[in-house]
Structure 1
Amino acid sequence: MIARAGKIALLSTTLMLAACGGAGAPAEKRTEFNIGWSIYAGWMPWPYAQQAGIVKKWADKYHIKINVVQVNDYVESVNQYTAGKFDGVTVANMDALTIPAAGGKDTSAIILGDYSNGNDGVLLKGADTLSAIKGRQVYLVELSVSHYLLARGLEKAGLSFSDIKTVNTSDADIVGAFASPQATAAVTWNPQLSVMAAQPGAKKVFTSADIPGEILDLLVVDTATLKANPDLGKALAGIWYETVQLMMRQDDQGKAARAGMAKLAGTDPATFDAQLKTTFLYTDPKAAVAATDNPALVSTMTRVRDFSFSKGLFKGASSADAVGMAFPGGKTLGDAQHVTLRFDDSFMKMAADGKL
């Protein structure tokens, strides 16, 4: 499956909002690092880069070793990063905020990899407009990116959560649940989304393509580790841009790279290519820097944190401002004295300027 399998934010994380100030104890200079990843179309460049020798090439350049480690469960990979078992991890923007950052782990998003451009969607049976969702039971993984997508859709349709009833359903069960005649509304992500959209009478009435740039997929690294070991950030940026530029080529080498990624994801090239069509990959570092520097990112993260707080994902917090975020140019959101999520464009800029 090509999915952020189980994108739900972990409620049982022990939050340390009152105690999280800055990057904590200084990290030591090291030569070996572990980066966690899970299967999702936009993250397959990482394991392929390891298999193709691109990871080793860039790590050798900076005299370090980088281990790219698969974790079968997405949330578990983020939890392991939060617990210190990984130095970095692939993660969606909402989960970076609600798991490590809200848990007090100072985290830097150093690569804006992609945004979902149709990989997440709202499905209705017997209707072709989102307004028809009113009064229905909606199946979804609650407190996940699907929940956020639904919130944005309802807002645009002039509706609220009081107009519907959500039914918490795991990503493993949602295809079967939607097949029932009684189920007429659902929110999910690919590949389940494509399978469910093919059911009789089902139509996509709102997708992440309607809110471009809001469901972001990132590579994040522990801030203290990054400060002590900036070469790690340089190597990771080099790995990413060499690999994504290779995979998007239309020659035999590009085709072979995509086929290799499909195999690593446990699927076939045609399915993988279809997933890429609804994934906006930032293959050009200049475009990634521009998106990170754009005020729209602050607006997006404001929506994400307000939604997360409203659903109780900042456990122990008295307001949405409890978790501080920092953006390029000195802009902050929330508590500037307790910043635990930083959007750091410096390594992408080095890639854009040819200075890696």
Structure 2
Amino acid sequence: MFRRLILPAAVLLALTTGCAGAGQEPAEPSGGATPKITLGFSAWPGWFPWQVAQEQGLFAKNGVQVELKYFDSYTDSLNALATGNIDANSQTLNDTLASVAGGAEETVVLVNDNSTGNDQIIAKEGVTSVAGLKGMTVAAEQGTVDHYLLLLALEKAGLTEADVTFQPLPTDAAAAAFVAGRVDAVGVFAPFTTTALKRPGSAPIATSADFPGAIPDHLVVNKKLLDRDAKGVQALVKTWFDTVAWISANREKALEIMAKRAGVSVADYETYDKGTTIFTLEQNRTAFSDELPARAKQISDFLVASKLVDAAPPLDGLLEPKFVMAVQP
């Protein structure tokens, strides 16, 4: 299962019970070896470039030893970062805010992308607008980014979640239920949009393109990593921009790598291009300077108002722009 927001209660549970080794300090390398950074990612077009970085040796080129860990369950990656079982993770801003609200200590150091259409509310044939969902059953993973998108879309249409029957399902199961005709609409993200749209006559009635900037995706690090290995974090950020440049210069090979990791054809993967806007270095700098602080406050307020979190997360220390500012173009 691939999942992109976790509820604070689940984060708190992970923080208090944890996985094996939760709460332990990372072991120090022996003999002066370069510390290894464990970087998590999962199924989202804006994060598959990390697979390219690994296969093309771009982490090593920047002098950082990385254990790249792919999570079938995005929720598991969020828990792993929250409990300190990985050092860094690829996750959305609203997911990060929810984790911080649950007690996690995390910092955003890079904008990978903005979702510009690859998060979608897809409805059955005959339903052509969000207003048409009134009284219908809509599936999405509860507390996830596409639950968040659903709430944004309902609000824009003058509705609330009480106007629909919400069916909480994991993202892959939600897509399958929609294709099987068990629900009337579904909230999913790529590559599960491809699955959902196999239902005859189905079509998106709302996407992240309708809410510009609402769903930014990031490299987020455990604050302990910042204290332990700021140089390594800088190398991760530099590697990202090197990877984006490599993909631009070697598009055919890059698409093969990313499509294979996504489990889809190259042709299907190419359809995700417009729905995910990869951020340049200049866009990163602008985002940290002008956009992200306000966006974080806006999302925080919405999460509280929608009761997706119990209390607003602390925003101090959430954003750290120094790493993108230090990258040489």
- The TM-score bracket by the shorter chain reads 0.7 to 0.9
SS in 1 for 2:206: strand
Aligned to 2:115: 116
> Is 1:350 aligned to residue 326 of structure 2?
yes
* Aligned residue runs from structure 1 range 9-88, under 5 A: 9-10=6-7, 11-14=9-12, 31-59=35-63, 64-88=64-88
TM-score, L = length of structure 2: 0.86
Aligned to 2:267: 270
Q: CA deviation at 1:16?
A: 11
Opposite residue 344 of structure 1, the aligned amino acid is E
Aligned to 2:297: 302
Q: CA deviation at 1:220?
A: 0.8
Aligned to 1:293: 289
CA RMSD across the alignment = 2.7
Q: CA deviation at 1:5?
A: 1.1
Q: Is the 8 A contact 2:118 2:190 kept in 1?
A: yes
Unaligned runs of 5+ in 1: 18-25, 327-338
| Matches of 1:179 and 1:66, distance apart in 2 | 39
Q: 1:168 to 1:349 in 2, by over 3 A?
A: same
Aligned to 1:102: 101
| Matches of 2:195 and 2:76, distance apart in 1 | 25
Q: Is the 8 A contact 1:16 1:103 kept in 2?
A: no
> Is 1:157 aligned to residue 118 of structure 2?
no
SS in 2 for 1:90: strand
Aligned to 1:207: 207
Within the candidate set 295, 314, 317, 1:324 is matched to: 314
Q: Is the 8 A contact 1:124 1:185 kept in 2?
A: yes
| Matches of 1:197 and 1:112, distance apart in 2 | 29
Q: Is the 8 A contact 2:121 2:186 kept in 1?
A: yes
Q: 1:210 to 1:56 in 2, by over 3 A?
A: same
SS in 2 for 1:325: coil
TM-score, L = length of structure 1: 0.80
Q: CA deviation at 1:14?
A: 2.0
| Matches of 1:188 and 1:69, distance apart in 2 | 23
Post-superposition CA distance 1:207-242 (Å, at most 9, x none): 001112111111111223213422112201111001
Q: Is the 8 A contact 2:140 2:188 kept in 1?
A: yes
Q: Is the 8 A contact 2:43 2:191 kept in 1?
A: no
Q: CA deviation at 1:310?
A: 4.3
Q: Is the 8 A contact 1:42 1:276 kept in 2?
A: no
* Residues 71-80 or 144-153, more deviating: 71-80
Q: Is the 8 A contact 2:5 2:94 kept in 1?
A: no
| Matches of 1:346 and 1:285, distance apart in 2 | 12
Q: Is the 8 A contact 1:148 1:307 kept in 2?
A: no
Q: CA deviation at 1:292?
A: 2.3
Q: Is the 8 A contact 2:146 2:187 kept in 1?
A: yes
| Matches of 2:202 and 2:71, distance apart in 1 | 33
SS in 1 for 2:91: strand
How many equivalent pairs are there? 315
| Matches of 1:267 and 1:203, distance apart in 2 | 20
SS in 1 for 2:271: helix
**Percent of aligned positions with the same letter in both sequences?**
27
Unaligned runs of 5+ in 2: 16-24
> Is 1:138 aligned to residue 138 of structure 2?
yes
